[in-house]
Amino acid sequence: MGKATGFLEYDRENNTDIPVEKRILDFKEFHVPLGLESRQRQGARCMDCGVPLCQSAIRLKGMVTGCPLHNLIPEWNDEVYRGHMEHALSRLVKTSNFPEFTGRVCPALCEKACINGEYGDAVTIHDNELFIIETAFAKGYIKPRIPKIRSGKRVAVVGSGPAGLAVADELNHRGHLVTVFERDDRVGGLLMYGIPNMKLDKAVIERRRALMEEEGVVFKTGVDVGRELPAEEILREYDAVVLACGAKQPRALTGADPEKMKGVYYAVDFLKRTTKALLDSAEKNPDKAAEPLLKEKELISAKDKNVVVVGGGDTGNDCIGTVIRHGCRSVTALEMMPMPLEKRAAANPWPEWPKVLKTDYGHEEAIKLFGHDPRLYETTVKELVSDKKGHLKKIIISQVGFENGKLKLKEGTEKELPCDLLLIAAGFTGCEGYTADAFGLKLTPRGTVDAQEGSYRTSAEKVFSAGDMRRGQSLVVWAIAEGRACAAEVDRYLMGYTNMRVS
């Protein structure tokens, strides 16, 4: 399989990036893909492993390494090496519904398990995947697959994030009649409004939506199930219901209530309003898409402001990249945990998930623009200070430690930071409960839907759940995997059997 000596002959070559000083001027994607010949060499680096851990999704010390979709990675790497792009596509889509999403936003659990990474550099699996699917769209290999036979069974999917889309895609291709309900004005869930455009261009989501509609999926946006549309109506009109509403309940920060102080926002609200302003601007001014952005009323502007982001994960990084594009005066990121190591430690060896320091695109941009890494580790907010009108003006920060597993502020380490805009990117505590309540479902202490053990079925008749709403806050690739597995279970419920492939 592949070139037996490829990993010895060729070095890893990543996609290049548009220089920071140019890419921060707009919200466009900034990764520049390699050409076919270079990509073939990257495919040739894939070894003929006896046990390809890249597709394993094994759990080691509480963390997963390897692809949750069990993608047939060595097979499509081989086809890329040989230049057989249609064959590569056929192997890729056998297990993955939306490679154009994961090829952009997945943290590449597959690469962390690649055996080339034990002593050298892993194969560029993530970039290879994106190259395959984008080549397929560009060359017209992707065509609507419209079911020839319909079962007559009707399925409602509530939520159009990656889990909901995967459920809809699978069940539609099986021949069921699928309707997706989305409360926002556009399809995609956090793909649309939680991930910035420069990381995932929203035209990519609209392209997939158009394809799914041509294949027979019906999308109804601006419909809030459980509030505007009663659950009873959904249950009456559909043979099965899948709740895939995500885990969008943001974790609060003590003493920082967005409703009580001006200038404090949850990161997901900030990012959503930026993307919505960007898209609305583009619709109004298609020839000058980015220029009118800061004039949109719904935007939470960071222009000329001192910004502090609380949270060191992907969302925090996305906030950094976004406020820089707004034209912020400064940006600081607070992370409660200690600074990770820069290389794999002996206690964290391959193929475990590497708990190492990651300098992402937002951090790189801040370093280039302001001359230093924006992150402060083992630090949190102690106090917020506002002016007489209730506008945030500065914050008091403090170093922290942990005693018996509990967070403790270190006295005498307090410092003031100027802050006009505080963004809380501290993760999520579970789903928003009203949809679950509408269907008579209970939530677990983690804020997820209480599904039957080892199943996607809930305690309510013909109601299923998938994705973050069932699993808890997680990755796009896990949401897709959940959607595929849930779809197979729904199919078995409707038909008495299933021949759907989960992975």
Q: Each residue of 251-261: pLDDT tens digit?
A: 988 888 888 89
pLDDT for res 60: 94
Q: What is the mean pLDDT of residues 448-475?
A: 93
Asked if 143 contacts 191 with a C-beta cutoff of 8 angstroms, the reply is no
In percent, the amount of the chain with pLDDT more than 70 equals: 97
pLDDT, tens only, 106-133: 999 999 999 999 999 999 999 999 999 9
Task: Give 61 or 423, the one with higher predicted confidence.
Answer: 423
Facing residues of 180 across strands? 157, 219
Percent of the chain past pLDDT 90, that is, above it, reads 86
- Band of pLDDT at residue 490, cut at 50, 70 and 90: very high
Exposure of 13 by Cβ count < 10 A (0-12 exposed, 13-18 middle, 19+ buried)? Answer: middle
Give the model's pLDDT for residue 454. Answer: 85
Confidence of residue 292 (pLDDT cuts 50, 70, 90): low
pLDDT at 79 over 90: yes
Q: Are 491 and 171 in contact (CB under 8 A)?
A: yes
CA atoms of 52 and 58, how far apart (whole Å): 11
Residue 375 has pLDDT above 90, yes or no: yes
Kindly tell me the sign of the dihedral angle through the C-alpha atoms of 355, 429, 71, 203: negative
pLDDT value at 427 more than 60: yes
* Span 381-404, pLDDT tens digits: 999 999 988 899 999 999 999 888
Residue 332 pLDDT greater than 80, yes or no: yes
Predicted local confidence at residue 424, as pLDDT: 97
Q: How far is CA 309 from CA 217, 478, 487, in A?
A: 39, 26, 38
State pLDDT tens for residues 181-240: 999 999 999 999 999 999 999 999 999 999 999 999 999 999 999 999 999 999 999 999
Q: Do residues 447 and 249 lie in contact, with contact meaning Cβ atoms separated by under 8 Å? A: yes
Model confidence at 453, pLDDT cuts 50, 70, 90, reads confident
pLDDT-based confidence at residue 406 (cuts at 50, 70, 90): confident
Among 274-283, 433-442, 485-494, which is the least confidently predicted range?
Answer: 274-283
* Dihedral (Cα; 2, 63, 364, 339), 10-degree rounding: -140
* CB of 4 closer than 8 Å to CB of 115: no
All structural domains of the chain? 6-139 (1.10.1060.10), 154-249+429-495 (3.50.50.60), 252-426 (3.50.50.60)
| 147-160: average pLDDT | 97
Q: Place 134 in a pLDDT band, splitting at 50, 70 and 90.
A: very high
The mean per-residue pLDDT over the stretch 289-297 comes to 57
Q: Are 448 and 470 in contact, with CB atoms under 8 Å apart? A: yes
Residue 48's pLDDT band (cuts 50, 70, 90): confident
- Indicate the pTM of the whole model: 0.95
Scan for tokens 């004005």, then name that residue: 185
Mean pLDDT of 156-185: 98
Q: Which of 1-10, 303-312, 340-349, 442-451 is predicted most confidently? A: 303-312
| Band (489; pLDDT cuts 50, 70, 90) | very high
pLDDT, averaged across the chain:
94
pLDDT at 4 exceeding the cut of 90:
no
Three-class HEC string of 313-369: CHHHHHHHHHHHHHCCCEEEEEECCCCCECCCCCCCCCCCCCCECCCCHHHHHHHHH
pLDDT at 288 over 70: no
